[in-house]
Amino acid sequence: MLAEEDMDLAVCVSRFGLSGLRSARQAETGSYLQSSGTNRFTGVYWLKSRQKFQALVWFNGKVHYAGVFENATEAAFAFDAKLRVFCKDPVRRKKSLNFPTQQEVAFSRAKQAESRRSTSKFNGVSWHKEAQRFMARVWFQDRPHFAGLFSNETAAACAFDAKLRGMCKDPVRLKRSLNFPTQQEASHRESLLDIRARSMRTYSQSRTKEVDSFQRLQDRLSTSKQASDFEIVHIPSQSRVDALFQSLKSKSEGLPLQLKSSSCYNRSGRASFYSFGSTNGYDGMLLVLIALDRDMIWMVPGKDVSQTCLKIILGSQRDRAWRVEEVGLALTDYFRSASFAHVSFQNALLQCGQRHIVEEQSHAQLASVFALVGLQLARPVDLMSMMSTVDSTLRLDGQGWRVQEKATHRLAGGEYRANLWKHGGSARICKSRL
């Protein structure tokens, strides 16, 4: 037989939807716990069986008994006292307390302001909601590096600077990212040649990653049975379509592919995962996610992805559902699926932004003009050319010239203007008037 206090608690738990705690007395009398029609306090309920007010605290999935009282105000004070014992979160406590002190209100407002600050005015500093402290973290070489938790925002910024100086020796990055650079670091200046060389290195790294992912996909296809009937063709432009999977028998159209690649993130104490950026907006294409450091490939229709950034945790349901073992078989199944409309090589080139559409149209016009005099202008399709800044190659009688193409509209006043640079470096403006 339950004690009277336990019996009242059992009735309340039943009201909260938990089973198996109804008392024999409750079943006999039909007593139940209901909120009083005039009760305005949190955690205070009218106990009909005893004609009194009961205070109960719901915390961490459990109900905690705080007593039975003649009036609601006494029950509200008892609720507050019980809540203060269990709950140490000032924001949660202030929301629930019936009679918060001025100190509790002020402290809660300060904590709310801090928790709303997802980022800081300092580089590499953010508010850690769980720890209720400022976290310093350095992003370097595609990896986050933890620099500590701090009660003071400035201290976190100094820790970020120290961590960055220990890992990065690039004076440009230091000048751009440090919160408190020294006079020497802040006064660093790059020459135009250095600016261009650095920009080209950055572009080359990006292109190397693209080439690596494309080569990995081709290698996996080459080891499958379907390699004798299908091929993967690279789209050499700024198109949103990275490649086409097409039949060798009929090369008129193919399955549009969008390739994304990433290396594994392995944080201590947590499962390894891969993170892929810019993954939404690829309806009608097959999204192919490629691991650069392991022999793993995932595939998913672009229409099924709405996230801007996709995370695949190894061993998760998403990993098991999307990972592909037989690349050739999976691509063939998607190729034959009615869910995907096939596109031609030329249409794939034009699936890009308006500025790049102008470039593709001008390339087609330029190619037709050169063809009139026996010259062949074509986009580079080999992997090494993909890593360069060459737009196209011009060939005649076995000789070739690398071409950088520029396109522009006629401006007001009859002037044409084009920037003579690509992917970094100092810009030169070429002007011409008809």
Average of per-residue pLDDT across 21-50: 53
> Cα(392)–Cα(372) distance, rounded to whole angstroms?
17
Q: Count the Cβ atoms, other than its own, within 10 Å of residue 3.
A: 8
pLDDT at 231 over 80: yes
- Full-model pTM: 0.50
pLDDT at 92: 73
Average of per-residue pLDDT across 76-103: 84
pLDDT at 370: 87
Most confident of 3-12, 15-24, 46-55: 46-55
Q: What is the mean pLDDT of the chain?
A: 78
Q: Which amino acid is at 409?
A: H
pLDDT at 398 over 70: yes
Q: Between 386 and 412, whose confidence is greater?
A: 412
Angle between helices 192-222 and 327-336 (to 10 degrees): 90
pLDDT at 16: 33
For residue range 269-300, what is the model confidence (pLDDT) as tens digits? 577 899 998 888 888 899 999 998 889 999 99
Average of per-residue pLDDT across 122-126: 90
For the chain, domains (ranges, CATH) are 4-104 (3.30.730.10), 125-186 (no CATH), 196-347 (3.40.1350.10), 353-433 (no CATH)
Q: Distances from the Cα of 261 to the Cαs of 77, 196, 256, 346, 420, in angstroms?
A: 58, 26, 17, 25, 31
Average of per-residue pLDDT across 263-268: 75
pLDDT at 245: 94
**Judging by beta carbons within 10 Å of its beta carbon (0-12, 13-18, 19+), is residue 286 exposed, middle or buried?**
buried
For residue range 168-216, what is the model confidence (pLDDT) as tens digits? 988 888 998 999 999 999 998 877 667 666 665 665 556 677 788 888 9
Residue 235 · residue 252 · CB < 8 Å: no
pLDDT at 321: 93
For residue range 310-356, what is the model confidence (pLDDT) as tens digits? 889 999 999 999 999 999 999 999 999 888 999 988 788 777 665 56
pLDDT at 423: 44
Q: How confident is the model at residue 30 (pLDDT cuts 50, 70, 90)?
A: very low
pLDDT at 192: 66
Average of per-residue pLDDT across 245-249: 90
Residue 405 · residue 418 · CB < 8 Å: no
HEC readout, 320-364? HHHEECCHHHHHHHHHHCCCCCCECHHHHHCCCCHHHHHHHHHHH
Share of the chain above pLDDT 70, in %: 75
Q: Between 398 and 409, whose confidence is greater?
A: 398
pLDDT at 163 over 90: yes
HEC readout, 154-196? HHHHHHHHHHHHHHCCCHHHHHHHCCCCCHHHHCCCCCHHHHH
pLDDT at 420 over 80: no
**Segment among 108-122, 333-347, 357-371 with least mean pLDDT:** 108-122
The residues with which 53 forms a beta bridge, in sequence order, are 46, 69
pLDDT at 318: 92
pLDDT at 351: 74
pLDDT at 11 over 90: no
pLDDT at 33: 36
